[in-house]
Amino acid sequence: MHLLAVLEYDGTDFQGFQSQKKGRTVQDELERTLREFLPQSERRAGRVKIVGGGRTDAGVHAYGQTATFDLDWTRDLETFRRAWNAKLPTDIFVRRVSKVPADFSARYSASSRVYQYRVWNQPERSVFHCRYAYWVAEPLDVSAMQAAAEHLLGKKDFAAFGSAPDGGSTVRDVTRVELHRDAGEIIFTLEANAFLYRMVRRIVGTLLLVGRGIISSQNIEDVIQRKRRAGFSVPPHGLTLMEIKYE
């Protein structure tokens, strides 16, 4: 049975989603627990291979990460989901599991991905926000940042903001860059067909320069054309993969 799982996780204690030689990863935890569903005779030799919809970096969280895999299962999928969650560590939770066509891929079948970055914009830090939001004490001009964000929309070369994981094209199609203030937080929402390595974090870092008044909203075009350097890459703990969309 070819299955699609939608899951959430707290990325604080992970070295990212994708399996690595060293360090704890989400993929390793998913595959380790899925092996427990194999028959006893196959557990040592058997391996369940997960394909993730997004390669979140170390410290990045997810609310709508996806994963596809094959598994023999004869009972209903809700029973499987509950049993899987019982085996997973507390910083990973499977929200949904559904059957999909054999050629469906969590990664390659995706039409777009949605990320959010949270900034705690108050004079003093907050114990209850510091794990999931980046603290910026000085006031930020949200209107100026939103005006700058409009320059990022469309199909463009975003090499100024990141690199392609496989060394390929750095052209991406960005369909949404929105900002809004929610109490003490400023929330950045970005959607694109795909993102470069650290692209979201460097876009947010550049927009924060606009919010501080260090550069103008018009300077974003210079950054895109690589006539001016992009802002710094903001810390990973404020970033969450919210959703992966499929046609």
**Burial of 98: CB neighbours in 10 Å, binned 0-12, 13-18, 19+:** exposed
Token pair belonging to 124:
């003093």
Token pair belonging to 116:
């959010």
**Burial of 9: CB neighbours in 10 Å, binned 0-12, 13-18, 19+:** buried
Does 166 participate in catalysis according to the annotation?
no
Q: Is 247 helix (H, G, I), strand (E, B) or coil?
A: coil
Token pair belonging to 113:
């991905």
**Burial of 160: CB neighbours in 10 Å, binned 0-12, 13-18, 19+:** buried
Please pick, among 10, 13, 28, 57, the residue that the annotation labels catalytic: 57
As annotated, the active-site residues are: 57
